[in-house]
Amino acid sequence: MKVAMQKTVFSVRNLTKIYDMGEVQVHALRGVDLDIYSGEMAVMLGPSGSGKSTLLNILGGLDTATGGEVAYKGKDLTKATDRELTEYRRFYVGFVFQFYNLIPSLTASENVAIVTEIADKPMPVEGALSIVGLSDRKDHFPAQLSGGEQQRVAIARAIAKNPEVLLCDEPTGALDFKTGILVLEALARVNRELGTATVIITHNADIAAMADRVISLRNGLIADVTVNAEKKLPGELRW
Amino acid sequence: MVVTPMNALNIKLTRDIWRMKGQVAAIVIVIVCGIANFIMFMSNMDSLMITRENFYRDYVFADVFANLKRAPESLKERISAIPGVAAVETRIIANVKLAVDGFDEPVMARIVSLPDDGKPLLNKLYIRKGRLPDAAKDNEVLVGDTFANAHRFSLGDRFGAVINGKWKQLTIVGVGLSPEFVLQLRPGAISPDYKRYGILWMTKTTLGTAYDMKGAFNDIALTCTPHANVDDVIRKLDQIINRYGSFGAYGRKDQMSHRYLNEEFKQLEIFSFIFPAIFIAVAAFLLNVVISRTVKTQREQVAILKAFGYGNIEIGLHYVKFVVFIVILGVIGGTATGVWLGRLLGDLYMKFYRFPYLEYRLDPSIFAAAIVISLAAALAGTAHAIRMAVKLPPAEAMRPEQPARYSKAFFERAGLGRFMSQPARIIARNLQRKPVKSLLSIIGIACACATMVMSGFFKDAVDYMVYIQFTLSQREDMKVAFIEPTSARAVYSMNGIRGIEYVEGYRSVPARFRFGHRSYQTAIEGINPGSVLRHILDENLNPINIPPSGIILTDYLGRHLGIRPGDWLTVEVLEGERPVRRVAVAALAKQYMGLMGYMDASALNHLMREGNAISGVSVIVDPLHKKDIYKRLVHIPRVAGAVVVKDEIRNFYDTMAQSMLFFTFVATLMAGVITFGVVYNSARIALSERSRELSSLRVLGYTRGEISYILLGELAILTLAAIPLGFVIGRGLCSYIAEAAASDIFRIPVVIEPATYAMAAAVVMVSAAVSGLIVRHRLDHLNLVEVLKARE
C-alpha cells in the first residue's frame, strides 16, 4: 500500500484537550493517537462536537493541547512557544476555512501576495491562482467574487507558500454542491500535483470517497480509520 | 406594555454598557472635561459678577469719577444739583513714596481721603482688621489688605512716607478693601504688584493739611439716581470742573479696577465657549462612532426584538437611553470636577481681585444649560445611527450585513501601488473606505493638538510682549517720575547720583485725542530724537525716527479713532494751560500694551508753550549701587516715584506663574483626554470590525507585531495627519482669542514658539501611543479559533 511507505508528517500520541468553560469542563479530545503521512489526502469525519476541529487547530498550531504529544516532522508542537507556533504557521502549514477569511480590502492576487510576501520559498502569485483556475479574477475584491471563488482564492493563498501540509476545516460547508465540487477539485489537484499532505474536515460523509484515508472521530476519540482502496475523483462525488 | 424599572431591554442596556465599559469610560471622560470647563468658567464668571454686584451695592461703588487739580469745597453743592446725581463725595487723592523697613526697593502708594467722621457715603470700606483712622491723629493710616499681606503688616506697624515732600512715619490702624480698588494696579503697570504699590486711606483733615487743601478737594466720586443718563451727568460735571484742572470725568466703564474686571469677564466668556465646544463636539463624534458600530453589530438582535413585536419607538428609545446614560454620567462627573476646578480658579482670581469674599456658587441655570447642550449635541451626533436601528426591516436585519466594498486607494491608482506591501495597502484602503470617519477622527485629534497649542500660546505671547516692551522699546533699568514738570537740567542732577550711569529725560502730558466723533484719553510721551533708551517701533519692529513735528500713535489707537497717517488729530491737553491743538499723525507704532501718542520732546514742549521741561527720567544704573539709589530717591522731594523694570517683569511673571501653571495643567489634561478618547475609541472599533481579518492574518503566520502594524499604523497615520491640522486650528483659535480679547489695555500678539508646537505634538503622540498600547494588549489576546468559526 502506498500510504505505509510514506514519511510521517504529524505524529499524535495520547492527545487530550480540555476546555475550561467556567463551571463545566469540556473534554474535546480524550487521548487521540494518529499519524498523518506526507502527500496523503486524509478526510476527517465526525459529528459536531466529535473533536475534529480541535484536533485540526492543534495540528495547525492555532491551539495548544492539554496533554499528550503532537510532533510535526519530529518537532514537538506541544512545547512550542507562541513565537515558534507563528513561525510554524508562516512557513509550513496552509489553512482553508469554511468562511474563507479573505482580507476584504485586498484583491484576489493581493490576498495571495499577503502570504507570499512573508513566506520562505513561495510560488508566484499567478501560479497559485492558476492552480485554482482564477487567473482571470485576480484583480477582483472579495466582495466581487462568489463564495466558491472566494474559497478558491483561500486555497490559492494557502498553497502559495508551498506548505508541507494543507489543513481544511469544512471547506465546502458554506457552498452549494456544484461550487463545492469545484473547490474539492482544486484541493485534489494541489494534493496530486504538489504532493501536499491534505487534511479535510467535514461532516459530509460523501466527501470521504476522494480520500486516501478516512479518519472518523467520535466523542474526542478516533473511532475508525479506513484506507480507500480506490479513491474517487471529486467530479464523481454526489450528495 | 408593562413598564418595570428593569425590563429585559434595560437589562440588555446595562450589560451592553458594562461590556463596552472601556469605550464608554473614554467618552464619559471627554464629556466630563467639556462640562467641567463649561461649569468652571461659567460658574466663576457668574460668581465673580454676583460678588462684584453685591460688593458694589453694599459698599456703594460710585458711578462717576473725576480727578482735578484743586477745587473749592463749595463746588460740591453745584455738582449735587446736577440732575440725576444722587450723592457726591469730594476727596483728596495723592500719590506718595513709601519706605518700608526691610524692603529696599521703591514702593509707591495712592492715599485716598476719608471723611473725618470715618463714614464715606460712597466707595465704603470693608474693614478686615482694626479700625478707621482717627481725624485727631495725623499719623494714622488704613492700608489695603493686599499691601498689608505682601509686607506681613500687623496693626500698629509703622512705615515711612513722603507726603508732599515731608517725611512722615505712619501707623497702621486698620486693614481694608474698597469696591474702587478690587484690582489694584499702579497706573502704567503691567500687573498688580502688591509689594511695590499699595492703597492707603487717611482722614481728609490730615491730607488737607499735608497738601494744603483745607476746604478744597482734587477728586470727586458720585452716584446717579436709578434712571439718570450717566453720559449727561458726566458732560454736565465736566462743564463745572473743567476750569479746575480736570482730567475729565469718566463713568464706571472707564474706572480702572472695574474695566479690568470686565476684561476678565470677557476672557472667561470666550473660554467658556471655546473649550467646552471642542469637547462636546468630540464627544458627539465619539458617540456617533460607538453607537453606529453598536447598532451594526446588533443588527440580528434588533431583528429578533422586532420579530417578537417590539416597536420602532422602543428600539429607538433603547439606543437613546444608551446615549443619555453616557451623557448623564459625563454631566455628573463634569459638574463635580467643574465645581472643584471652579473653586480653585476662584481662589486664583481672589489673589488678583480683592473682594471681601467670593460667593462661589453654581447657578442651577448653568447646570441646566450644561445638560441641555451636552444632550442636544450627543443626540444630534447619534441621530443617524439610531435612525438606522429604527428603520431596519426585521427580515433584512436577520441576514448578515453585505461584505464591505473596497477599491484601490488613490495613490495606488496614481502608480505608487507597486511600492506598497500588502499590509500598507490594507491601511490605505481602510482609510479611504471611510473618508468621513477618517477625517472626523483627524479633526478630533487635531482639536486636542489645538488645545495644547492654545495653552502654550499664552506664555509665548506674554514672553513676546515683554520682549517687545522691555527689550526693544523701553530699555532703561529704572524710570523715575517727578511730581511736576521740571527743567531738563534735572537730568544733570540725576546724573550726579552715585551709581546712575546714564540718564535721559522724558516728558509725559495727559491729553484727550479727538478725531471725528471718536475720542480717547491717554498721554503724549515726548521723546528726544536719538534717544538710546526709548524706541518706538514700526510694524516690523524697527525703530521709527521721531519726526520733528507730528504725532505717532499706537496702531490700535489709530484703528480705534479711525485715523491714518496724514490725518489731523485734535489734541486736548489736560495739564498746564490746557491748550487744544491740531497735530498731524506722522505714523502708527506697533505696541501691545496701552495706547499712547509719541512726539518729539521739543515739539511737545512747543505745543505746551513751555521751555525745555521733563516729567521724569529713564536711567541705567550700576546694579551694585541699586539699593543706595533707591534710598536716595525716596528723599529727593521732586521725585514722585520710581519703577524698576526688572522688578516689574519679575513680578509680572510671579503673578502669572500660578495661573499659567493651572491653565497649562488643565489644557494638557484635556488634550490628553481628547486624544486618548478619539484614538482609543477608533482603535477599539477598528478592532471589533476587523478582529476576524487580523486573526486570519495571525493564522497565516503573521506575528503580533505585524498585525499591530496594520491596525495601529492606521491610527498612527490619522494621528500624524492630525498634528499639522491641529497646529493650523490652534493658531486659528489663538488668533480668534487675540482678536476677541484685544482692548486698549493690551493686545495679545499671535506668537507661537516652535517649542509650543513641539509640546503639543508630543502630548498628542504620547496619548495616542498610550491608547495604542492598551489596544495592542487586546490584539495580543485575540482568540484565533473563536473568530475563525464565526460567520462574518
Give the per-residue pLDDT at B401: 64
Residue B275, all three cell numbers: 473649550
Give the per-residue pLDDT at B1: 46
CB contact under 8 A, A143 and B403: yes
Cα B53 to the center of its chain, rounded Å:
21
Cα(B629)–Cα(B622) distance, rounded to whole angstroms? 9
Min Cα distance B303 → chain A (Å) is 23
Range of the domain at A162: 2-236
pLDDT band at A1 (very low <50, low <70, confident <90, very high): very low
CB contact under 8 A, A95 and B699: yes
Q: Is A80:A61 a contact under the CB 8 Å cutoff?
A: yes
Provide the pairing of β-strand B250-251 with B93-99: unpaired
Neighbours of B413 (CB within 10 A): 10
Min Cα distance B428 → chain A (Å) is 9
Give the per-residue pLDDT at A3: 46
- C-alpha closest to that of A108 among A128, A89, A91, A94: A128
Using the Cβ of B703 and the Cβ atoms of chain A, whether some distance falls under 8 Å is answered with yes
Positive or negative, the CA dihedral A137, A141, A142, A145 is negative
Using the Cβ of B700 and the Cβ atoms of chain A, whether some distance falls under 8 Å is answered with yes
Question: Is ipTM > 0.90 here?
Answer: no
Q: Which residues, including other chains, have CB under 8 Å from residue B55's CB and lie 6 or more apart?
A: B61, B126, B179, B182, B355, B356
Cα(B750)–Cα(B769) distance, rounded to whole angstroms? 30
Beta strands in B528-596 (DSSP E): 551-554, 568-573, 580-589
Amino acid at position B384, single letter? H
Q: Which residues, including other chains, have CB under 8 Å from residue B461's CB and lie 6 or more apart?
A: B734, B738, B748, B749, B750, B751
Cα(B617)–Cα(B154) distance, rounded to whole angstroms? 35
Please write the tens of the pLDDT for every residue from A66-112. Answer: 999 999 999 999 989 888 998 999 999 999 988 888 888 899 999 99
Torsion of Cα atoms, A128 then A131 then A137 then A139, to 10°: 10
Which of A57, A99, A106 is facing B422, going by the closest CB pair? A106
Give the per-residue pLDDT at A2: 46
E strand or H helix at B532: none
Q: Is the pLDDT of residue A4 over 80?
A: no
Cα(B568)–Cα(B585) distance, rounded to whole angstroms? 6
CB contact under 8 A, A62 and B402: no
Cα(B621)–Cα(B477) distance, rounded to whole angstroms? 6
Give the per-residue pLDDT at B327: 95
* CATH code of the domain in which A12 resides: 3.40.50.300
List, for chain B, all residue ranges whose pLDDT scores fall below the cut of 70.
1-6, 397-403, 787-792
Q: Which residues, including other chains, have CB under 8 Å from residue A142's CB and lie 6 or more apart?
A: A100, A102, A103, A104, A106, A108, A111, A150, A153, B403
Partners of residue B792 in chain A, C-beta under 8 Å: 99
Task: Provide the domain count of chain A.
Answer: 1
Using the Cβ of B430 and the Cβ atoms of chain A, whether some distance falls under 8 Å is answered with yes
Q: Is B583:B571 a contact under the CB 8 Å cutoff?
A: yes
Residue-by-residue DSSP string for B486-500: EETTHHHHHHTSTTE
Q: Which residues, including other chains, have CB under 8 Å from residue B221's CB and lie 6 or more apart?
A: B62, B64, B65, B88, B89, B91, B122, B123, B180
Cα(A1)–Cα(B546) distance, rounded to whole angstroms? 112
Which of B403, B692, B697 is facing A142, going by the closest CB pair? B403
Task: Spell out the alpha helix ranges (H) of B141-229.
Answer: 145-150, 204-210
Provide the pairing of β-strand B478-487 with B613-621: antiparallel
CB contact under 8 A, B422 and A117: yes
CB contact under 8 A, B703 and A110: no
Q: Is the pLDDT of residue A41 over 60?
A: yes
Please write the tens of the pLDDT for every residue from A174-233. Answer: 888 988 998 899 899 989 998 999 999 998 899 999 999 999 999 999 999 999 999 899
Cα(B743)–Cα(B595) distance, rounded to whole angstroms? 9
Which of A63, A90, A103 is facing B785, going by the closest CB pair? A63
Please write the tens of the pLDDT for every residue from A118-168. Answer: 888 899 999 999 988 999 999 999 999 998 899 999 999 999 998 999 999
Residue the block writes with cell 497649542: B453
Interface test mutation site (partner A, options B427, B438, B696, max chain A beta carbons within 10 A): B696
DSSP classification of residue B505 = E
CB contact under 8 A, B697 and A63: no
Q: Which residues, including other chains, have CB under 8 Å from residue B491's CB and lie 6 or more apart?
A: B503, B504, B505, B614, B617
Give the per-residue pLDDT at B399: 66
- C-alpha closest to that of B697 among B706, B686, B689: B706
Using the Cβ of A227 and the Cβ atoms of chain B, whether some distance falls under 8 Å is answered with no
A 93-122 residues with CB < 8 A to B: 95, 97-99, 101-106, 110, 113-115, 117-119
Angle between helices B754-779 and B645-699 (to 10 degrees): 30
